[in-house]
Amino acid sequence: MELFTMFWEYRSYFLTGLQYTLLLAALGVLCGFILGLLVTLLRMAPWRIVRFIGHAWVEFLRGTPMLVQLLIIHYGFSTAFNINFSPIESGAITLSINSSAYLAEIFRAGIQGVDRGQGEAARSLGMNRWMSLRFIIIPQAIKSVLPAIGNEFITIIKESSIVSFIGITELMFQSGAVVTITYDGMTPYLIVAVMYFILTFTLSRILGLFERKLKASDHR
């Protein structure tokens, strides 16, 4: 009961935090989707140096903590290159590039899972490598990895909590503000935990339904 009472009393804090959390997660996955697809194409390029750039991008971003990436983008770029991003911009950029590394691996696995005969058939019809990728292979690969993309969205929702370190008023930052006001170090964080759980659980159920519909359409 105390949980609901505090949530209702400070609902403006929690709902504001929820808006920023969802905004950052959506930007992270959308931009990460585009960037991840580009990185995948780099890794499949015929030139070794281009493949190396794509490989280095994925390995560096997957091999370093997201918090370190956030601090480099928000504070490091400012002091070293005088490039100043707002907290929202820094958070969105960090989530986007981090997500792109994981999505690039998802796309690569999806493309490798497409039957090689599809590409050979496309080339026999006069398509070059780029056209076969664009019109035949990539659409099938994306369809096969849509559940994994959805799981990445869920992961980004949870990992977006790190942007509270640079002052973005997402869920964790707002819960900290409520802790400061109420001197209650437990209830606000429990409220946020429940909100995260409801978000991720609901998205998981929606993704499960979507995945079953995709399988049903494939069987038809």
Dig out the tokens for 10 from the structure.
Answer: 């400070």
Which DSSP letter does residue 1 get? -
Residue (of 196, 176, 183, 186) closest to 13 by Cα position: 176
R_g of the chain computed on alpha carbons: 21
User: Is residue 4's pLDDT more than 70?
Assistant: yes
Considering the segment(s) 2-219 as one domain, its CATH architecture is Orthogonal Bundle (1.10)
Q: How far apart are CA 20 and CA 92, in angstroms?
A: 10
What was the pLDDT predicted at 210? Answer: 77
pLDDT at 65: 93
Please tell me the pTM assigned to this model.
0.87
The predicted pLDDT at position 191 comes to 94
Q: How many CB atoms lie within 10 A of CB 156?
A: 23
- Tell me if 97 sits within 8 A of 27, measured CB to CB: no
Q: What is the pLDDT of residue 113?
A: 81
Segment 106-159, tens digit of pLDDT: 998 888 888 777 767 777 777 777 777 777 788 888 888 888 888 888 889 888
CA distance 76 to 70: 9
| pLDDT, tens digit (0-9, with 9 covering 90-100), for 56-96 | 999 999 999 999 999 999 999 999 999 999 999 999 999 99
Q: Residue 185's pLDDT is what?
A: 86
Q: What is the SS3 string spanning 117-153? A: HHHHHHHHCCCCHHHHHHHHHHHHHHHHHHHHHHHHH
Least confident interval from 4-18, 32-46, 102-116: 102-116
Q: In the chain, what are the domain boundaries?
A: 2-219
CB 200 within 8 Å of CB 158: yes
> Which of 52, 44, 216 has its CA nearest to residue 137?
44
Distance CA 53, CA 59 (A): 10
Residue 76's pLDDT is 94
CA angle 166, 61, 56 (to 5 degrees): 145
Confidence band of 216 (pLDDT split at 50, 70, 90): low
Q: What's the CA dihedral at 85, 89, 95, 100 to 10 degrees?
A: -90
Alpha helices in the chain (DSSP H): 2-9, 11-43, 48-62, 66-71, 77-81, 87-113, 116-124, 129-132, 138-159, 171-182, 187-219
